[in-house]
Structure 1
Amino acid sequence: MGLRIREARAGNSLSQELLADRVGVDRKTISRVENGLISPKYDLIVDLAYALNVRVEWLVEDPGRPPHGSAS
């Protein structure tokens, strides 16, 4: 998820500090999420998706995992 957040943040030309201000957390929190050091709570994921103008599902989707319900 961290890489997706970083990708969307860069695509929106936002610094970590500006994104942090928009979602009401410290810049270090954004850095830790982007680097996979912490997993954000659902409320923060929703706030991030809104601030980044992306769908929650896109943020949490694991591109290496088959879609739910598909046979492996």
Structure 2
Amino acid sequence: MANSAVEKIGNAIGRLTPRELEELYVWLDQHHPQPIDDRLTADLANGNMDRAIFRALDDESRGRTQPL
């Protein structure tokens, strides 16, 4: 049985140079953005993340965080 298109693409990706791989990432991001990216962009534009962002920044400035 022949390789599926996904397998062929995966094999081709494995042969890309680092520069070609970066170009692929850019192309994918421009042509097929992830749904989470769209939602996050909309939430940020609407101010839906402001409270969480300010709370995180406050926690960090008061030393209430720890490195991962």
Short-chain TM bin: under 0.3
Higher relative contact order (CA 8 A, sep 6+): 1
Kindly name which structure, 1 or 2, has the bigger radius of gyration based on alpha carbons: 2
Structure having the larger proportion of residues in helix: 2
TM-score (norm 2): 0.26
